[in-house]
Structure formats: C-alpha cells, structure tokens
Amino acid sequence: MTKIAVVIYSTYGHIISLANSVVKGIESTGATADLFQVPETLSEDVLAMIHAAPKDESIKVLSSPDVLTGYDGIMFGFPTRFGNVPAQISAFFDSAGGLWASGGLYQKPCGLFTSTGTGGGNEMTIRNSLSFLAHQGMIYVPLGCATSFAELTDLSEVHGGSPWGAAGIAGADGSRQFSELELKIGYIQGTDFAKVAAKLSAAIPDATPAAAAAAATTTTAAEKSDAVETETATPASKTAAATPPASSEKSGCCTIM
C-alpha cells in the first residue's frame, strides 16, 4: 500500500483545513496518509502576541525528518511569508542535512500546497521551496491543470490555487475560511499525488543509495558460497564492503549530522 506523509506548518489553522482535504484525496485512492506538523520555533509569548491559534494536539509533531524515509511520497503544506517559506519550515528543512548526505529522500515524489492572506505568494511560495527539494533529489509533482482545469479557471469567486499546487486565501486579517472550491482543489491534488507516488514506488521501489547498496549485496546461493570462500580469504575487505561508511564520513567537504 502506498504511504504518504503530509507535513505542514500552520499559525492560524487555514493550512490544517486544506491539509485535511488533501488527506481525504490521498485516502480516496486507497493510499494511507499520515499528517504531521513541524516543530514550532516561536516562543509562547510571541505566539500570543501574534494571536496564533492554539496548536492542534491531535497532529503529531515531526521531531525528526528521518521519519520521512519510510514514506513513498511527501506533501508539504505551509502559509506564505512574503512569498517564501515560514521560518518553521525552513528550520525543518535545515534539520534534514543528514538525509541530504545519505540520500534518504532521493527520488521520492513531493507535492506542495500553500495559503496566503491576499493571494500575494500563491505561486512564489511553492516555487521558492524547490531549491530544498532539488538538493534532496526529490521529484516535484505539480498539480498541473489536467484534472483541476474547471476549478482553477472558475472565476465566479476569489480563490487560491494554481498549477503549482492548491492554495487558499485567508484574508488580510485571516478571517476568511477556505471555500469549498479551494478545498476541492486540495482534494484533487491529494488524489493525483497519491496516484503518481504509487506509480513511482512500483517503478523504483526504493531508490535511496542505501537501498541500492543493500540490493547490490543480495546474492544468489551460488554467489553466497563464493562469498564464503572470499570471506575466508579476505575477511577485512568483506567487512569493509558490508559496512557502508556513516553519512558523516561520506561528506568530503564538510561534516553534516
């Protein structure tokens, strides 16, 4: 079964409502969806000053990015900050240096959705997060238009969302709730993304370098008996081949994690 992680950050709750629609879309395909929130970086005092909503305790906090290696695809949802990702998401991305070094997210599909107050940042926020995803070697899956053309081109109401990904408009003061149309686009994106993740995980079951190394060491019975002889002859070289260096040892120019 295809496993999708949906990783979000939300200050005022709008992204949570969109994430719930995305999750429903994912689950409509038979895939599973686990919803996580990244750790908060602001103090309680500051959160109170900006009138942040209380944290939704029912959403698990993703304390380590390593958890994501167990998923076939990852969707990220977060509000804009002047067209960029919030500091909380940036801090989470920064904490994924170990995965960059080990290739833990390599060739995993990812999709993005966002939220803005006014529409400013609807597309840029997603585009501006791509550098992180590219460095991880993730495969960005845009929403496109093929399955959401009617919704994206519906001009009967103000709405967020673009070929880059679903989005909602919260209003300058955050008082607007996302419309049925915006939530539907999120549902479509979740559905489409889960289908792509299923196809990719079937085609490349686990493309991480660690998995490739493990596959390379899988041997037939005949090869195993050869290996026994080799092991007897050169135990040191066998040990070296079976023990990949720790990720920190692999980085030539710097030590990460």
Site residues (CB under 6 A) for ligand FMN?
Answer: 10-15, 79-83, 115-121, 170, 174
**Cβ pair 211, 217 in contact under 8 A:** no
CB atoms within 10 A of CB 7: 23
Choose between 176 and 238: whose C-beta lies nearer to ligand FMN. 176
Choose between 142 and 174: whose C-beta lies nearer to ligand FMN. 174
Q: How far is the CB of 174 from ligand FMN (least distance, A)?
A: 5
Choose between 83 and 137: whose C-beta lies nearer to ligand FMN. 83
The Cα–Cα gap between 12 and 230 comes to 62
Q: How far is the CB of 108 from ligand FMN (least distance, A)?
A: 24
Choose between 8 and 68: whose C-beta lies nearer to ligand FMN. 8
Q: How far is the CB of 64 from ligand FMN (least distance, A)?
A: 23
Q: How far is the CB of 208 from ligand FMN (least distance, A)?
A: 31
H-type alpha helices, the chain = 14-28, 44-49, 87-94, 97-102, 124-127, 130-136, 149-152, 180-203, 209-216, 221-233, 235-242, 247-250
Choose between 4 and 170: whose C-beta lies nearer to ligand FMN. 170
Nearest to 62 by CA among 44, 35, 86: 35
Q: How far is the CB of 160 from ligand FMN (least distance, A)?
A: 9
What is the Cβ-side half-sphere exposure of residue 153, based on CA atoms within 13 angstroms?
A: 7
